[in-house]
Chain A
Amino acid sequence: MYSEFSKGIFKENPIFIILLGLCPTLAVSTQVVNALGMGAGVIFVLLGSEIFVSLLKDFIPERIRIPSFIVIIASFVTIVDLVMQAYAPSLSRNLGVFVQLIVVNCIILGRAEAFASKRKLGESLLDALGMGVGFTLGLLLISAIREILGSGTITLFAVGSFDGVVRIPGLSSQPARVLALAPGALLVIGFLKALFNWLEMRRETREAWVAAPPLVATGAAAADGSLPATEGGA
């Protein structure tokens, strides 16, 4: 059961591994607080729609399932949009049109179609939580990199006398501003994706080596105990 939850965070992380839901990811990743707000919205919509799709799967005719899923998703997006406008107006202004655009976020329709419409309620619930948390973490990582390097700050929620903005000494006076602008988002996700590819390649080479150590390398490696050099690391 636990694996249904954890796969969304690491192995099938929607942002880095299967590259879904990129539009909102990049557009709102200028500040950490936006990432948190967007993540919360997506988790709620994912949970709501996966629960409903899973419960209604026996009643929705096969041929009109996609439009039905879209209506369910759009209803939850409307709830998020209205709640955010009422209780977090500044966040709602920051995210702008991207709250409503959660509707076309391919993660949600993708999970409804590929998972919730075939599985039991409990599994769908864990899947939604895992995917939602994985999405939020990915978004947080991107926005943290962009905000710290691009503005030298970390913007969180304002509490009491704390205005919600952490300034990083040295960086906030001379930040690499390009990262906070539109091109920065594309560059950051490109480099992050390459990093994850490299880690994956390293793991694969290492596993292949452990499973079947190449004859020539065995003696040398055993002698000095070093790990095999990998293609990506070389």
Chain B
Amino acid sequence: MSYIGIIITFVFINNFILTQFLGLCPFIGVSRKTDSAIGMGFAVIFVMSMASLATWAVYRLILVPLNIEYLQTISFILIIAALVQLVEMVIMKISPPLYKALGIYLPLITTNCAVLGIALIAVRSDYNALESFVAGIAAGVGFLLAIVVMSTIRERLDREWVPKPFRGVPIAFITAGLMALAFMAFDKALLKNLLG
């Protein structure tokens, strides 16, 4: 599949949050304010692209040659956990302002299923190194798009009257459901029309 195809697929058609439900916890948890949603979104893009590249390397260069693919789950989750720590330390050293902006979101990302999700999906789809990397970025951008739109809607919702049992999480889910309905307009046919 072409790179443009991968990007459109992961940003719109298979948007991680709205169609695959990966990364739903931070989506609901960190979407109250637009500022923090943007911070979380960029942290996720960063970690996902790194993680999909790193897990590709470990899978193709270590697990497959040694015939131990069954250690996939264990090794991937450890790589992601270590990677998040590493990224945190590197950012802290290189760019303190960026660390200040992303710092609090980074530890949360280890348990973000979107990161392990993209690693596993890239392996299952037999992507090469660059394709995995692009898929990681695209899935992250899809996450950023969804969480930023969601946070702006929720900021407006805070000023509206909502029946008491629906306040907070329930109305957030229903909003997300309506967003997912809108995203259903993006399907495989769109990809076919665009790329021929």
Contacts and interface: CB of A to CB of B under 8 A. Distances in A.
Contacts of A193: 169-170, 173
Given A187-B174, A190-B174, A197-B170, A100 B180 contact: no
Interface in B133-162: none
B171 interface: yes
B25 A22 contact: yes
A201 interface: yes
Interface string A181-197: 11111110111011101
Interface stretch (B2-10, B97-105, B108-116): B108-116
B164 interface: yes
Nearest to A104: B113
Contacts of A70: 77-78, 81
Task: Tell which of A74, A97, A191 has the most Cβ of chain B within 10 Å.
Answer: A97
Contacts, number: 123
Interface in A49-87: 67, 70-71, 74-75, 77-78, 81-82
Contact of A182 (B19, B70, B174): B19
Interface residues of A, number: 44
Nearest to A72: B74
A182 B23 contact: no
Given A23-B22, A178-B181, A194-B165, A186 B176 contact: yes
A104 B111 contact: yes
B73 A74 contact: yes
Contacts of A24: 113
Contact of A101 (B120, B166, B172): B120
B178 interface: yes
Task: Tell which of B18, B113, B116, B171 has the most Cβ of chain A within 10 Å.
Answer: B113
B25 A23 contact: yes
B20 A27 contact: yes
Nearest to B171: A190
Contact of B112 (A104, A187, A231): A104
A78 B77 contact: no
Contacts of B113: 23-24, 101, 104-105
Interface residues on B, range: 35 or more
Given A74-B73, A191-B174, A193-B173, A186 B180 contact: yes
B92 to A, nearest CB: 19
A194 B78 CA distance: 37
Given A23-B22, A78-B73, A194 B111 contact: no
A112 to B, nearest CB: 12
A82 B73 CA distance: 11
Interface string A87-105: 0000000000100110111
Query: Which 5 residue pairs across A and B have the least CB separation, nearest first?
Result: A190-B173, A186-B177, A198-B165, A190-B174, A187-B177
Given A103-B77, A190-B176, A195-B165, 9 more contacts: A23-B23, A23-B113, A27-B21, A71-B74, A105-B113, A181-B184, A183-B184, A187-B173, A189-B173
24 contacts: A23-B22, A70-B78, A71-B74, A74-B74, A74-B78, A97-B117, A103-B73, A103-B116, A104-B111, A104-B116, A182-B20, A182-B21, A182-B180, A183-B180, A186-B180, A189-B173, A190-B166, A190-B176, A191-B170, A191-B174, A193-B170, A195-B165, A197-B166, A197-B170
Interface of B: 18-25, 28, 70-74, 77-78, 81, 111-113, 116-117, 120-121, 124, 163-166, 169-174, 176-178, 180-181, 184
